Amino acid sequence: MIDWDMFQTSLPQYASIHAAARCLSGGPIFITDSPGSHNLNLVSSMVSPRPSAGTPPRALRPSEMAYAVDPYLGYRSSRLLCVKNSYSSASSKVHLLGVFNVSTTYLVELVGVFWPRVGEWVVRGHNSQSIKKLEGELMVVALEADDWEIFTAAPVREKVAVLGLKENMTGAAAISSWSVKTGKEGKEIEVELRALGTLGK
């Protein structure tokens, strides 16, 4: 799912769904706002400041190119469009699922597994900021027309999961590596990031 075209962050209805699709795609992000008409909150959810002063913000891209879970889904099918991608760091791999309601009505669906069936996983929704441990192989997703959500599934190690930067649509792509050490005084979690923001764990 790559769109090489540009979009305007100030569009009242479709700007955020465009932004979410482009962040999830793994490709470049181009915007064509008129001077002074940027939606700064939306721009901030697509990029993050780098640790080095004076360097431009970083777009947090997944490791691969995204693909539709059901490539034969019809435009007028009144179904949720699900798009998968992933991001691999030095210490783990997280899985991303974008869910888009491009219909004209409210939709509720059971979405299938987009994370490996082995191990323990937790999922965070970017818009809802809800975090839940995954049970079973289905997840209920409900979206209004023109709404969207990006889910991040992260592995749990020693009862810890690192989900990336909370403010960013694909904030897991800020993780360079992480580790957990258990000692007498509790757990020590060390996370190396390649962008700045609020860490979700």
Is the residue at 150 inside a domain? yes
Neighbours of 17 (CB within 10 A): 18
In this predicted structure, what is the pLDDT of residue 52?
75
Is the residue at 6 inside a domain? no
Which stretches in the chain have pLDDT values below 50?
1-4
Is the residue at 97 inside a domain? yes
Is the residue at 168 inside a domain? yes
What is the CATH number for 172?
A: 2.60.40.1180
Contact present, 43 and 115 (Cβ < 8 Å):
no
pTM, to two decimals: 0.89
In this predicted structure, what is the pLDDT of residue 4?
46
Is the residue at 10 inside a domain? no
Neighbours of 18 (CB within 10 A): 20
Neighbours of 5 (CB within 10 A): 8
158: left (phi over 0), alpha (psi -120 to 50) or beta: left
CA atoms 27, 24, 36, 33: torsion sign: positive
Is the residue at 2 inside a domain? no
Q: Which domain holds residue 175?
A: 15-200
**Tokens read off for 189:** 């979690």
Q: How many domains does the chain have?
A: 1
Is the residue at 3 inside a domain? no
* 3-class SS of residue 117: coil
Residues forming a β-bridge with 88:
93
Is the residue at 4 inside a domain? no
